[in-house]
Amino acid sequence: MQPQQQSETPVTGAESGVPTEQPPIADTGWTSAVATPSGPVGTVVLDTVPAPATQPVPAGPSPVEVAVVQFDPHTDVSANLAALREHVRTAAELGARVVVAPEYSMFAVSRLDERMVAVAEPLTGPFVSALRGMAAEFGVHLVAGVVEEAPDAGPGRVYNTLVAAAPTAEFAAVYRKVHLYDAFGMRESDIVAPGPIAEPAVFTVDGLVFGMQTCYDLRFPEGSRRLAAAGAQVIALAAQWMPGPGKVDQWTTLLRARAIENTVYVAASDHATPRAVGASMIIDPAGAVLSELGDQPGIATARIDPAVLDRVRTANPSLSLRRFEIAAR
pLDDT digits (tens, 9 = 90+) for 27-83: 333 323 333 333 444 433 444 444 555 555 556 789 999 999 999 999 999 999 999
Is position 177 annotated as part of the catalytic site? Answer: yes
Tens digits of residue pLDDT in 173-197? 999 999 999 999 999 999 999 999 9
CA distance 161 to 177: 6
pLDDT more than 90, % of the chain: 79
Burial code (b: 16+ CB inside 10 Å, e: under 16) for 100-139 equals: bbbbbbbbbeeebeeebbebbbebebebbebbbebbbbbe
Coil, strand, or helix at residue 209? strand
Q: Quote the pLDDT of residue 7.
A: 45
* DSSP 8-state assignment for residue 218: G
Task: Give residue 131's Cα distance to chain centre.
Answer: 16
Tell me the domains of the chain and their CATH numbers.
Answer: 61-318 (3.60.110.10)
CA distance 312 to 263: 7
* DSSP 8-state assignment for residue 292: E
CA distance 16 to 14: 6
Distance of CA 49 to CAs 32, 52, 206, Å? 7, 9, 38
Is position 188 annotated as part of the catalytic site? Answer: no
C-beta of residue 103 within 8 angstroms of C-beta of residue 238: yes
Residue from 65, 121, 148, 215 carrying the catalytic annotation: 215
Residue from 103, 148, 188, 292 carrying the catalytic annotation: 103
Residue from 8, 121, 148, 177 carrying the catalytic annotation: 177
Closest CA to 141 of 97, 101, 92: 97
Closest CA to 283 of 310, 309, 321: 309
Question: Predicted confidence band at 18 (pLDDT cuts at 50, 70, 90)?
Answer: very low
Closest CA to 87 of 298, 302, 303: 298
Is position 215 annotated as part of the catalytic site? Answer: yes
What does residue 319 show for φ and ψ, rounded to 5 degrees? Answer: -65, -40
Range 260-265 average pLDDT: 98
